[in-house]
Structure 1
């Protein structure tokens, strides 16, 4: 009798070890995706739509049977627009939750702070932020495991400079938010402006927490620029835009792609009228020709998001749409969640991927894969958007 009891206990023990081994190998019944988004705090106009979009898409894919029969488990955190929170969230996702990949990093500073953890752990990380430093740093350091879906400064700045040149606006004021997003944009502007015959007659910075910049803008006004370029995201750019009009500066205002959300219009109010900015095609999807490669996906995303959340999607939610489906396709091509195989599939197998932010051609030298053709110049008119090209 003791012999049979001992045999039973031994078999049960071996079965338990086997089950635990399967669970920790990353090849179990679930695909675990981590998310870090700025769903609250100053960057919430960007991050809330990103988080909502990924949750919606995970539910959709799971309802359709998952990825090759495996359901997706999404573990997402709100970093509250705080860099330390972002790092702690990334650390928890990698070390405790054992995620197979991470989507997120709403703002550039948070993404840049999370990158060392992803690189050290060799986990694919797809950022939603814009700075060129995320995927192509000036020091040429490795970004082997890092990809991103937002258009970078190296793509957006030439679009803005060409617009200024075409409009004959050669003497401009440059204003940028004092964080990684703003300084990265300024670096690209400073490097390229002369090639387009553009000169900054005054350059200033403002804080992301700015509530009144009239004193700074009074100095800017004295330099008599032909136009003002404001490089920030929705919340702080709305303050600057309102203040420019409030001190009586009647010149064209060109904002960055960081204002591509309805919240900017709500925050800036009447002063948003006439603002020009570069952005992906989502905001003007219904104005595109039927031959546009992206139009069908753009309209489908709009319809699905509005049905789910009773609100229009933002271009930032589009960045997370792209990140999610790029990752889904990579997992399919890798035939599983092996990090190296997924990374390789992200890098090598996405030529011509039609997304919300543009048509991606990711490769070994470019982990973003978007060109200036992914952008259009848009004007805010009557509380909405119209193509300005």
Structure 2
């Protein structure tokens, strides 16, 4: 080989090495930081500055967009991130209906999407499209099993259900019903409502008339408050249960004394100081809370933690993905998807993640604790 050719080969190798050393992963983040579910989206948007910025010599750029809580705008944002920004992965959107509406676009583009939403319908049942989707909240059945277990121990025989008329509420009714019946618990009423509704008088009256021992409310964010305050005002005295969708401080502020005694299952982030020191989640969650408080002078809601965990999952997966291809290529995105699916025993703020081809949420019992509202504060149920 001639000297000029050798020099050319050496130069090409050096340029490739330099490119690899300064490769940049682009991650889109779609949150509902305005609109009806801003209580969910704002802490998610505020978490973006805390996400990992570098893995080895590979930098990570985050491109945040607001969908204003509108599922149609979520689709537009996802298309923009894929088409214009050529992102390697997406975190978001905030709402369950929003996430359900973008699955096909992420899958068709071959871009891994980490959904920080409540409904398990984004990853179940698994199919060729949903294999591109991962979920950083506990699946409904994991949370429901804890609630049903408490109900059975407390002697609850009949339950009324009030849920949002969307994938979140619908899947919760399905999952809860399937677990309650074998436990000897009968669903005696089922009501639904829209997140934007300002009155639930009719639903509340029908629920009270059914005289259930307890009521389960399945609604995300601030929409979880109105059903419970309505039942309180109508004189209902039974136990109220909530899903992990109510796990935010705004629930306490908006509900006040009317939500006292509520029982829910959620991550230990709400009761971090009461969690055992040896819990693998505690340190990760404490670091996140400290970073968020330093940046925003307020505590984060668990919804922000779901985005933080998405960043941890990507950080852990990037080294393996780089062996498949360079950022910006289909090979890298496919490798990233494969690597996330191979996640094993990764502690996050919400639990410990172990993904499989059939389980793209990856939580076990370490991802939930039973919590109650006591004295206007979250308290570990003992």
TM-score normalised by the chain length of structure 1: 0.88
Indicate how the Cα distance of structure 1 residues 79 and 293 shifts in structure 2: closer, same or farther if over 3 A, else same: same
2:311 matched to 1:324? yes
**Contact 2:164–2:194 (8 Å) recurs in 1:** yes
Distance 2:238 2:128 in 1: 41
Q: Which runs of 5+ in 1 are unaligned?
A: 1-17
* 1:181-226 alpha-carbon deviations (Å, 9 max, x no partner): 1101111112222111111111111111121112221121111111
The match for 1:292 among 279, 284, 291 is: 279
Q: Report the counterpart of residue 261 of structure 1 in structure 2.
A: 248
The match for 1:380 among 365, 373, 380 is: 373
Q: Report the counterpart of residue 124 of structure 1 in structure 2.
A: 112
**Contact 1:131–1:153 (8 Å) recurs in 2:** yes
After TM superposition, give the deviation of residue 28 of structure 1 in Å: 6.3
Q: State how many pairs are aligned.
A: 360
Q: Report the counterpart of residue 200 of structure 2 in structure 1.
A: 213
**Contact 1:305–1:313 (8 Å) recurs in 2:** yes
Q: Report the counterpart of residue 48 of structure 1 in structure 2.
A: 42
Q: Report the counterpart of residue 288 of structure 2 in structure 1.
A: 301
The match for 1:339 among 333, 336, 339 is: 333
TM-score normalised by the chain length of structure 2: 0.90
Other structure's SS at 1:184 match:
helix
Runs of 4+ off more than 3 Å: 25-29
Q: Which runs of 5+ in 2 are unaligned?
A: 1-11
Of 303-312 and 335-344, deviating more is 335-344
The match for 2:90 among 91, 102, 116 is: 102
Indicate how the Cα distance of structure 1 residues 125 and 109 shifts in structure 2: closer, same or farther if over 3 A, else same: same
Aligned-residue RMSD, C-alpha: 1.9
2:31 matched to 1:37? yes
Distance 2:337 2:314 in 1: 9
**Contact 2:221–2:247 (8 Å) recurs in 1:** yes
Distance 1:202 1:161 in 2: 16
2:122 matched to 1:134? yes
Distance 1:69 1:172 in 2: 55
Distance 2:99 2:22 in 1: 29
